[in-house]
Amino acid sequence: MMKEMLENVKKQCPLVHNITNYVTVNDCANALLACGGSPIMSDDIEEVEEITSICGGLNINIGTLNQNTIPSMYKAGMKANELSHPVVLDPVGAGASALRTNTAMGLIEKLDIAVIRGNISEIKTLALGSGTTRGVDADISDRVTRDNLQQSVAFAKEFSKRSGAVIAITGAIDIVADKEKAYCIFNGDPMMGIITGTGCQLSAITAAYVTANPDKPLEAAAAAVCLMGVCGEKALERMGEDDGNSSYRNYIIDAIYRMTGEELEERAKVEIY
């Protein structure tokens, strides 16, 4: 399944419109290229509908949202919905400010979102109206563990049912769920949290995956999450004694570029619930 998802991206080279933050935007563009997609970044209200129209999918990331870009997110999202393009939402820092929480919630309400991808604190904020977001990173008290996995899966399925979106919660254990089925993914490494933007890159890649696999958003999102985790592991294996988080960042994107469908299948550690 993973193999098919990956190869559809490489074959179709989906063009993804990104309204994203200025912190990790370059990595998002290079990660999209690495996985076989093609990025375009555009956030001005006068052009977002046109740009979305020539693309296959839309990735909305609220990492550095502002008064100018928020209306563009709505406008692009509505156009994407009209054209049946999948929309991915990355609610960076939801819970850290009312502006972030309200924007993410407003987008979920107004738009038909294909995948919401965030850390557990962000997703809890959106699902429960609470959560303990520590800046843009997940709070430790929220973390998904083996002990609370069943409960976390149920939570994700329930939020998927209510929102209509596939829910991708990423962390030490990743959960990708629709209302009926959840993929729990055990790939990845804590080192991925020591570079900025692995989550943002994953959201951009997820947009490429759901665009190239339009009938299978759950499987496509799970494959994207798994890809990121496996590449985090591969990058770690490559680390030399002088390497730190900057080289690690490069190695992850390099690994995405090199990944094949076969290797992804082979290295995937997935349980289905």
Among 4, 10, 64, 148, binds its own copies (CB under 8 A): 64
Burial class of residue 75 in the structure, from the number of CB atoms within 10 Å of its CB (0-12 exposed, 13-18 middle, 19+ buried): middle
Query: 157 to each of 96, 176, 184, 265, how far by Cα in Å?
Result: 24, 9, 12, 24
Residues in the chain: 273
Residue 39 lies near its own copies (rule: CB under 8 A): yes
- Indicate the pairing of strand 166-169 with strand 174-177: antiparallel
The minimum distance between CB 162 and its own copies, in angstroms, equals 26
The minimum distance between CB 21 and its own copies, in angstroms, equals 7
DSSP 201-260: HHHHHHHHHHHHSTT-HHHHHHHHHHHHHHHHHHHHHT--TT--HHHHHHHHHHHHHH--
The minimum distance between CB 213 and its own copies, in angstroms, equals 20
Site string for its own copies, 187-226 (x = CB under 8 A): -------xxxx-----------------------------
Residue 83 lies near its own copies (rule: CB under 8 A): no
**Count, residues near its own copies per rule CB under 8 A:** 63
- Indicate the pairing of strand 87-90 with strand 57-61: parallel
Residue 90 lies near its own copies (rule: CB under 8 A): no
Residue 271 lies near its own copies (rule: CB under 8 A): no
Residue 43 lies near its own copies (rule: CB under 8 A): yes
What's the sign of the alpha-carbon dihedral 107, 48, 228, 249? negative
Which C-beta is closer to its own copies: that of 151 or that of 245?
245
Burial class of residue 247 in the structure, from the number of CB atoms within 10 Å of its CB (0-12 exposed, 13-18 middle, 19+ buried): middle
Among 7, 10, 12, 42, binds its own copies (CB under 8 A): 42
Residue 40 lies near its own copies (rule: CB under 8 A): yes
Residue 260 lies near its own copies (rule: CB under 8 A): no
3-state secondary structure of 74: helix
- CB count, 10 Å around CB of 100? 21
Residue 66 lies near its own copies (rule: CB under 8 A): yes
Among 7, 148, 250, 273, binds its own copies (CB under 8 A): 250
Interface with its own copies (CB under 8 A): 15, 21-27, 29-30, 33-34, 38-47, 50-51, 54-55, 63-68, 93, 96-100, 134-137, 194-197, 238, 242-247, 249-258
